[in-house]
Chains A and B, each alone.
Chain A
Amino acid sequence: GAGVSQSPSNKVTEKGKDVELRCDPISGHTALYWYRQRLGQGLEFLIYFQGNSAPDKSGLPSDRFSAERTGESVSTLTIQRTQQEDSAVYLCASSLWTGAGNTIYFGEGSWLTVV
């Protein structure tokens, strides 16, 4: 597609349930990022993937969070046993490469509400 695509756009889930958020990066982009943005706040880095290298998971807030990526395509962010503090917009972005100089392009985000 022309841009980064994320689904679902909005998700309301009950506390304790698992959720999966999907990201389709721009075709040809080897790098993929996940960020979390709580209401009115900045972007919190979660994880990034670069090609077939081991992902940088240093930003994941707890072991309830995990992410996978198949090759250089779709990525799924999974949150297990959701808590109310997980409510946020989850932004996915992709770029041609990681490292200095890359411009990353964002999707419109998945708004997660945990009730």
Chain B
Amino acid sequence: AQTVTQSQPEMSVQEAETVTLSCTYDTSESDYYLFWYKQPPSRQMILVIRQEAYKQQNATENRFSVNFQKAAKSFSLKISDSQLGDAAMYFCAYSGNNDMRFGAGTRLTVKP
């Protein structure tokens, strides 16, 4: 079964600075997708960014970008110019041929 590991239970960043959240995964599949979801205190899960495994170019969405290292099975999320509204739980997720599996999450705190 595919597993997703987020080794940082908590992270903190100063407003306007950059932070990187780590994620690694384990799979034997060759075709898959990776996602980062954000869960603010409202509990609503929000898609932040997604990456197709067969694309070498790292996905970018405004201040959010990923560093996808397929051989290392690593998929980190970089948040630039952090804002107070970025404070939330962030979940890394893997989507293969069956369901979608999530990591345990990283709680991000943004300090003003």
Contacts and interface: CB of A to CB of B under 8 A. Distances in A.
B28 to A, nearest CB: 13
Contacts of A56: 98-99
Interface in B14-55: 29, 31-33, 35, 37, 42-45, 47, 50, 52-53
Interface stretch (A12-20, A21-29, A66-74, A92-100): A92-100
B62 interface: no
Interface string B78-112: 00000000000001000111111111110000000
Residues of B contacting A: mostly: loop
A102 to B, nearest CB: 6
A48 B100 CA distance: 10
B101 A103 contact: no
Number of contact residues on B: which range applies?
Answer: 20 to 34
A41 interface: yes
Interface of B: 6, 29, 31-33, 35, 37, 42-45, 47, 50, 52-53, 91, 95-105
